[in-house]
Structure 1
């Protein structure tokens, strides 16, 4: 398994404070001082019409990678869908659970419940940048999905292919150690998506999205005998349709 990158936001007071307040300012800062604004206000709000159109495409059980404060997890849960959010920020996971979603404080590169049985994975809000290695991230997501599973990714609104080290900052001071991040436009993401079948591209509300289909296998592996456990909750036996615990 790919080694997990350093967890940058765990224990980050400005990030936790921004989530509690529901707004920034909060940025990713490159070594040259360039700032990428983080849309904390939208992350902390309820799912908007663009989000809901994305969620309409979801198939089967949904894994929201880098779920943040949980607006998408909460919306899917309200629809009665099986969904799990994962995030390296304990503050974000706590926020998602308070909204009524199911979430786990964990990196996508660590062991996860229901591996190989998720119907859809989401990489929204710039999360194609996680780990700074797009190909490694796509390979990992492919292993999490069921054969022929769906990935919906939000790409940058410009044609960019950038991998760099960044700091989290509130524009006054950097917080924590620098970490690897990537920014990808749609053309760059498609170049990295070897072994994926492009299914759709679209723009809505000034945001850009790509849907990719994972490679189909000739046969599906038997589901594991053990149950999946999220946090301290005892799970029901997972299945291809329900790979995570009900709350």
Structure 2
């Protein structure tokens, strides 16, 4: 399956070299791409890539209603997810397939690491942090007259004092391959876990800071900072840029 993802990435990149950018006809929401940007090419549905800046952008939308007075506290476990997965606890949802996002990151020349996980050792729970090349993650929100880049941390507050989540270190963890009914499957395609916040172990992109998803083990502490977040289903672009140092030693 890993070889298949690499083959898909290389074949798509070769095709893009000779093809103009093609906006997906099936895109169900407004594009958030500024008109001045012309270096991005669509490599998969809802996924565009700019090799020069080592950046990908992904069409997304606000995943749930953060402004419903009946549910003022929206607990979060993910930054970004797939439809019909964990929208109720994610900031944004995207129709882009997690495996396509993985392949686009491969096209930037990045090698995935591994997601974080928790293991029992000598009767205690041990956290094994995620690994992978470093990434910068932002949202691009199209306000009147332009587009602003916003760190996802700005939309999250942390209990008990509801302070804004500090800057996170993000890595290309690369999810994992699982054999289901005799077939290899990309785990994030099954789970919908694209950009993590708590540590499920199946994320494509993970923060280095780990938080257990079981509330019996670790109390949930991430809430949506509601006033900062656009309305439900508003279009947002996820901007992911490699921050890997590629300078010669």
Task: Write 1 or 2 for the structure with the bigger share of helix.
Answer: 1
TM-score (norm. length: structure 2): 0.26
Higher relative contact order (CA 8 A, sep 6+): 2
TM-score normalised by structure 1 residue count: 0.26
